[in-house]
């Protein structure tokens, strides 16, 4: 006679692969990263450009129109301006002037 506790069984339950659950978890993580990056850009990254928005836009225009906008000077300020182009990319076939006007409006809206 074997002694076993009531309610226990010796059956082994094997986990089953659930691809739908895995896809939902991965999709949820991707959405979380997407919205977190948008929040960070709006709340942290874009306000950094509020101190001198005109100068940043001038440097961004120089980056888009010149081969070496900084010349032999320090490139740091131009790299900072180029990050704005990464945060708010130009639309397909958008002229530089229209892009700069859109950026100016966006900075004015975020810098209030």
Q: What is the pLDDT of residues 82-108, one digit of tens each?
A: 888 888 888 889 898 998 999 999 888
Higher pLDDT, 46 or 24: 24
pLDDT band with cut points at 50, 70 and 90 for residue 3: low
Q: Judge if pTM exceeds 0.85.
A: no
How confident is the model at residue 27, as a pLDDT? 97
Closest CA to 95 of 66, 68, 64, 69: 64
Q: Is 70 left (phi over 0), alpha (psi -120 to 50) or beta?
A: alpha
How confident is the model at residue 72, as a pLDDT? 73
Domain spans, the chain: 19-110
């Amino acid at each position: 006679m074997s002694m076993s506790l009531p309610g226990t069984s010796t059956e082994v339950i094997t986990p089953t692969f659930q691809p739908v659950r895995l896809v939902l978890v991965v999709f949820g993580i991707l959405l979380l990263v997407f919205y977190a990056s948008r929040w960070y850009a709006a709340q942290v990254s874009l306000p950094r450009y509020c101190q001198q928005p005109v100068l940043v836009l001038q440097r961004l225009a120089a980056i888009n129109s010149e081969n070496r906008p900084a010349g032999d000077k320090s490139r740091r300020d131009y790299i900072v301006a180029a990050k704005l182009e990464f945060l708010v990319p130009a639309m397909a076939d958008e002229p530089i002037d229209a892009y700069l006007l859109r950026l100016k409006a966006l900075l004015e809206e975020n810098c209030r």
